[in-house]
Amino acid sequence: MPFDETTPTDEIKFDISKVETTEASLEPEAQAEALQLNFITPLQNQEALSGESVGLFCEMSHAGVEVVWLKDNQPLSLADDRYQIVNKDNTSHLVIPSATPDDRGSYTVQVGDLQSTAVLTVHGESNKN
């Protein structure tokens, strides 16, 4: 029956079986909390000889989250060609193709408020010829 033909005693039924919902987009800071994100494989301390390639790796419980790498609490620049950062699925890799003593320090991978930190130690000169 059309709505304008109803009386105060008529019963109106609504069909809500076709209601659609959408997920709200979260800011990066809220991603870790909303997804209950954690590290499956946190960063591990690494050692290398000067001139050697060295990498840091972590695996997270969720894919598609924004990852930020820091060295000594300062964000690494993607424009710095000394570093290669590869984020794929739920993993993130930081590779230093030719480590130098300047690369020594504390490296942190950060997702929202969640973070994992490891120390990179670079010893002397490379034994490569």
- Tens digit of pLDDT for each residue in 27-60? 666 555 555 889 999 999 999 999 999 999 999 9
* Domain count across the chain: 1
Is 84 a member of any domain? Answer: yes
Domain span at residue 89 reads: 39-129
Spatial distance between the Cα atoms of 58 and 38, rounded to a whole number of angstroms: 11
Please spell the DSSP secondary structure of 69-124, one letter per residue. EEETTEEPPTT-TT-EEEEETTEEEEEETT--GGG-EEEEEEETTEEEEEEEEEES
More confident residue, 37 or 73: 73
List the single range of 2-11, 63-72, 82-91 with lowest mean pLDDT: 2-11
Can you give the CATH number for the domain in which 121 is found? 2.60.40.10
Is 73 a member of any domain? Answer: yes
Neighbours of 59 (CB within 10 A): 12
Is 79 a member of any domain? Answer: yes
